Amino acid sequence: MAKAIVIGAGVIGCSIAFEMAAKGYEVIAVDNAQGPGQGSTSASSAVVRFNYSTFDAVALAWESFHCWKNWPEHLGKKQERYSKMIDVGVVMLDAPVISGEKTSQLFESVGIPYEVWDSSDLSKNVTGIDAGKYWPPKTLADDAFWEDAKESLGAIFTPNGGYIDDPLLATENLAYAAINSGVKFRFKSKVTAILQEGNKVIGIEIDGNEKIFADILINAGGPWSNQINQLAGVGQDFTISVKPMRQEVHQINTPMNLLPGPIIGDLDLGTYMRSSPTGATYIGGTEPECDRLDWVDDVEAVNLNRTKELFEAQVTRAARRFPALKIPNTASGIAGIYDVAADWTPIYDRTELDGFYVAIGTSGNQFKNAPMVGKLMTELIEAVRAGRDHDVDPVKVRAERTGNEINMAAFSRKRLFNADNTGTVMG
């Protein structure tokens, strides 16, 4: 039995561990945190949507949605509590960086139901929304931000999609299923070296002293993925760079007449929003060009306290779109760190080091795809170990529930830069 080590026990790492164990591998998952999902995963807004810029990314999200909808079945052995998919639909407002025509074509090719709304449809179907066109996004200090809209915009609506009610519980569900399949977890354990013989991995060193040997290593380290790649000495043949970025998601109370509204993707103003039945609305940013991006050099030194400046910017933009929202005096929300790929598309691939694989650059938009990422990585690893040259003959994975074929070349470390991406967390 081949032995595999998954570095990182966030939602992606736990999914990989679960699927690898199901295929008969002896799996150890290692993380520096105290438990599963306590890094980037716990700061996720856990939105489930399908608006991506390539067929394979859309197909991956659509298949993953069906996994979430059938979550107990996906996990197997019965558990005491499950996270839930809250299926409220997704409204993606028109913006130049996200082509409505191309989105429609992709949805049709993948088989996703959708509707094209004009501004009248938008106002009729989304309570309290201002359908004004404000493009491009602006800072609050720009007088133009406060000007009335001169035009209106429409949207693309998918009746499916929404959010996972508890991203931490979802990760714990995966970890529990993995344990039931034989996975062993090592928490409070920092990887300090990647052990190699020639051009092949043979294991890891933990905390500078303990060695664990394995045939396969998978880097699912989130914001720490670059550090892990450096330990392994890989990345020289990557065409897509990866770097950590600090982000914040804010929370405000929602007027009850606006609940339970759909997910709102608002690149026109630079935010996305999701409400909850409990009366909270979560507001995140979409990296508009007018805002400074908070790139991170030292993950350990990042201040994870929310900031007043960013809170006011994101919440005021949301209130521009929904005038009934009230802006609190006190900031509320969470801060986290994205593992951002240069084209906002993840890297799910092998590396130049034999036995070393990566599931990185998840860019704040891959929580939704976690159920399928484990399957993708497992099939890739199996194919490469059987002698397939994935760089020349890419692995293709059949989506069991939706029937699409996902070409993993779309997530290659050597791919061409995805010029069709939005340049934002939307991917």
pLDDT (tens digit per residue) in 296-322: 999 999 998 889 999 999 999 999 999
Query: What is the location of CATH 3.30.9.10 in the chain?
Result: 87-161+244-338
Chain centroid offset of residue 391 CA: 24
pTM over 0.75: yes
Residue 184 in this model has a pLDDT that exceeds 90: yes
pLDDT score at 178: 98
Q: What are phi and psi of 423, to 5 degrees?
A: 75, 20
Return contacts of 126-132, CB within 8 angstroms, 24+ apart.
Answer: 126/91, 126/261, 126/262, 126/264, 127/257, 127/258, 127/261, 128/255, 128/257, 128/258, 128/322, 128/323, 128/324, 129/264, 129/321, 129/322, 130/320, 130/321, 130/322, 130/323
The span from the CA of 370 to the CA of 338, in Å, is 15
- The string of pLDDT tens digits covering residues 345-388 is 999 999 999 999 999 999 999 999 999 999 999 999 999 999 99
pLDDT score at 155: 98
Residue 277 in this model has a pLDDT that exceeds 90: no
206: helix, coil or strand?
strand
Question: Predicted confidence band at 415 (pLDDT cuts at 50, 70, 90)?
Answer: very high
Across the range 137-160, mean pLDDT stands at 97
The span from the CA of 427 to the CA of 417, in Å, is 12
Question: Predicted confidence band at 276 (pLDDT cuts at 50, 70, 90)?
Answer: confident
Residue 96 in this model has a pLDDT that exceeds 90: yes
Q: Above pLDDT 70, what percent of the chain?
A: 100
Question: Predicted confidence band at 40 (pLDDT cuts at 50, 70, 90)?
Answer: confident
Q: What are phi and psi of 319, to 5 degrees?
A: -70, -25
How many C-beta neighbours within 10 Å does residue 266 have?
26
Looking up tokens 């990042």 gives: 302
Across the range 84-108, mean pLDDT stands at 95
Query: What is the location of CATH 3.50.50.60 in the chain?
Result: 3-83+166-241+343-411
Question: Cα-atom radius of gyration of the chain, to the nearest Å?
Answer: 21
pLDDT score at 352: 97
Asked if 84 and 165 count as a contact pair (C-beta separation under 8 A), the reply is yes
Architecture of domain 87-161+244-338 in this structure: 2-Layer Sandwich (3.30)
Residue 154 in this model has a pLDDT that exceeds 80: yes
Mean pLDDT over the full length of the chain: 95
Is residue 232 exposed (0-12), middle (13-18) or buried (19+ Cβ within 10 Å)? buried
Kindly state which CATH superfamily the domain 3-83+166-241+343-411 is placed in.
FAD/NAD(P)-binding domain (3.50.50.60)
- The string of pLDDT tens digits covering residues 226-274 is 999 999 999 999 999 999 999 999 999 988 887 778 999 999 999 999 9
For residue 114 the two structure tokens come to 């959708």
292: helix, coil or strand?
coil
Question: Predicted confidence band at 330 (pLDDT cuts at 50, 70, 90)?
Answer: confident
For residue 328 the two structure tokens come to 């609190």
For residue 275 the two structure tokens come to 């409400």
